[in-house]
Chains A and B, each alone.
Chain A
Amino acid sequence: MIAPFYKYGMFGDEMSLVVAFVTGIAFGFVLERAGFGNARVLAAQFYFRELRVFKVMFTAIITAMLGVYFLGRFGVLDVSLIYLTPTFLGPQIIGGLILGAGFIIGGYCPGTSCVSAATGRVDGMVFLAGMMGGLVGFAEIYPYIETYTKLTSLGQVTLAGVFDISYGFLVFAVVLMAFVAFLAAEWAEKLIGHKLPGPGDLTEPVRKLTPVRGFAFGLTGLGVIALLAGSPYRTAFARIDTKQLALDAGSAAAGVEAAELADWIVQGRNDYLLIDVRDATAYAAYHIPGAMNVPLASLTPDLARRNERIVFYSDSEMQAAQAWFLLRSLGFPSAGMLAGGLDAWKDSVLYPLAPAEGSAPADQIAFAKRSAVAKFFGGAPRGAGSVSLETAAPALPQLKLPATTVAPDASRPVKKRKKEGC
């Protein structure tokens, strides 16, 4: 499981903008080549003269759909991580009708109008200006209609989920439907548009396997395989790459140092989940601020998204290591644990030990910082300054855990996920 690359952290936000630009270039290029920069080509669709829009769109949909299905089925792509625009049935039906009206009146949709404007069409440019006007209008009335735009919410659902039929069957049905629809489209072009089927059409009057026919049969064949092959989502069955796991367990790769974790919390970072795998009593007695309590016994793969960074901790490393091992084997590559567990947290974060007298200034500065962090978490530095090593040993202050001052829910910052939809 390696894709979606971005969501598995293979590249960052800056790089994603480069990917966006390159993807956009390819998108614009293909739209232009398909003839979609021309409003007359697009509008001809709605008079059954030339059904290019329909053919291009549905070929694209089934190509991408089959790609997603098979990459998911082979375990390359985590389908559950692809953003699904939430369904609000009513608003989307009304929005679709309005958009359809805009399409036949203006001749473009937003994407094609960009291509149209970029190739010098004045009507495309005016269409874009009109769209900006429409957006302003929508924005200004939005406060009054906001509640209505949220009606009939179904959440992020696929047709397979809502009708409770298998994803593979649906893929097959859509491919078959598209195949029949392409034949119907060419028939309509012939009947209404008086456009005789020629080379590159499915119904070209030659008795041989043209490339287009081969392609259509190929896609249909893949649809049949999808029908039989089951769900593209990852199952909960663990697949263990023992070698990799052993390597990770051996190296410190999976661990987060207590001091580092403390810094994350102080900085208010919210790109990870901190999970306390001890039982509820121990959690209630003390937990690291912001930690959620998920006792080892109730750990399931539904805990978090697979690409989420997770830090487990327990008293020593024991239980956390078990949790880490379990989730890693279930395919959570970013699971990790607090090195040394709560014991290390106590020693190095809550009650840091002062450096010996006369130690390097850098150590003193580091200790001053650690002391501040300790106070932040309700602890206190140990052996402050004057205590020499020999006397410090017996007089080691009791490592009493401070009360967790911040309520876990309040302290856990709300994830500011970037919106992904249009």
Chain B
Amino acid sequence: MNPYLAGFLLGLVLLAAFVFMGRGLGASGAFTTALSTGVHAVAPAHAEGNAFYAGYLGDGTTNPLKDWLVFEVLGVFAGGFLSGALANRLKVRIEKGPRISNPRRLVFAAIGGALMGIGAKLALGCTSGQALSGGALLNVGSWAFMLCVFGGAYGLAWFFRRAWL
């Protein structure tokens, strides 16, 4: 799809979220909620004693999984799957550059994911919740964050060129 058209459609989805809910899109928060609920199920005392988990568990009156972001991310999985299925793009595979082995690529993916989790929590949002949603609202922190994401990635790109090129 033409990137400008895709961007326009993405912008409309984001605008719809603003108009219907008064909030933007997100992704990382859903995983944190799921994780906090999981930890709470296994070790309730530990989860409640940790301010980070506790913040995602709510006041106990409702199930924390009945959360806007959790359902939105379930939708992202469904929508991605649907689009891939309709375009015949569903296939088990590993995306990588030609000069990197499969195990190495997967280790990199795991490390990248871990950094992403830490960065997103430190910044109170990821590319969806901060850069995209906050960017459209001209949020100060979101723009600072966005520049730093690009800065961090471009700054390290040279060192990881063997993974992609």
Q: Among residues 48 to 64 in chain B, which have CB atoms less than 8 Å away from a CB atom of chain A?
A: 50-53, 55-56, 58-59, 62
Give the contacting residue for A84; candidates B56, B116, B134, B151; CB below 8 A: B134
Measured between beta carbons, the chain B residues less than 8 angstroms from A25 are 75-76, 78-79, 82
Which listed residue (B7, B122, B136) contacts A65, Cβ 8 A?
Answer: B136
Given known contacts A86-B141, A105-B111, A158-B138, A35 and B152 CB-to-CB distance under 8 angstroms: no
Residue pair A21, B93 in contact (C-beta under 8 Å): no
Count residues of B near A (Cβ-Cβ below 8 Å): 129
Known A-B contacts A17-B66, A84-B134, A132-B31; the reply to A24 vs B110 at CB < 8 A is no
B50 smallest CB distance to A (angstroms) = 6
What CA separation (Å) do A212 and B6 show in the bound complex?
Answer: 12
In the complex, what distance in Å separates the CA atom of A135 from the CA atom of B14? 25
In this assembly, does A60 line the interface, its C-beta being within 8 Å of a C-beta of chain B?
yes
> Are A167 and B138 in contact (CB-based, < 8 A)?
yes
Q: Assess whether A130 is in contact with B84, with CB atoms less than 8 Å apart.
A: no
Q: Which of A84-112 contact B (CB under 8 A)?
A: 84-89, 91-112
> Are B136 and A131 neighbours in the complex by a CB distance under 8 Å?
no
Is A388 interfacial (CB-CB < 8 Å)?
no
Inter-chain CA distance A95–B126, complex, in Å, is 9
User: Contact size class for A?
Assistant: 35 or more
Q: Determine the chain B residues whose CB is within 8 A of the CB of A114 once the complex forms.
A: 27, 73, 76-77, 80
Pick the most buried of B20, B69, B90, B96: most chain A CB atoms within 10 A of its CB: B20
Which of these, A60, A115, A127, contacts B14 with CB under 8 Å? A60
B39, chain A: closest CB distance, angstroms: 8
Residues of A within 8 A of B29 (CB): 421-422
Q: Are B130 and A85 in contact (CB under 8 A)?
A: yes
Q: Tell yes or no: A240 within 8 A of B by CB.
A: no
A contact residues around B80 at 8 Å (CB):
28-29, 31-32, 37, 114-116, 118-119
B132 — which chain A residues lie within 8 A by C-beta?
57, 60-61, 64
A-B contact pairs, 14 of them (CB 8 A): A4-B20, A25-B76, A26-B79, A27-B75, A35-B1, A68-B136, A85-B141, A92-B123, A100-B155, A106-B110, A106-B113, A108-B112, A131-B113, A138-B121
Q: Which 10 A-B pairs have the closest CB atoms?
A: A106-B112, A24-B75, A100-B152, A59-B7, A63-B11, A134-B117, A130-B113, A28-B79, A96-B148, A95-B123
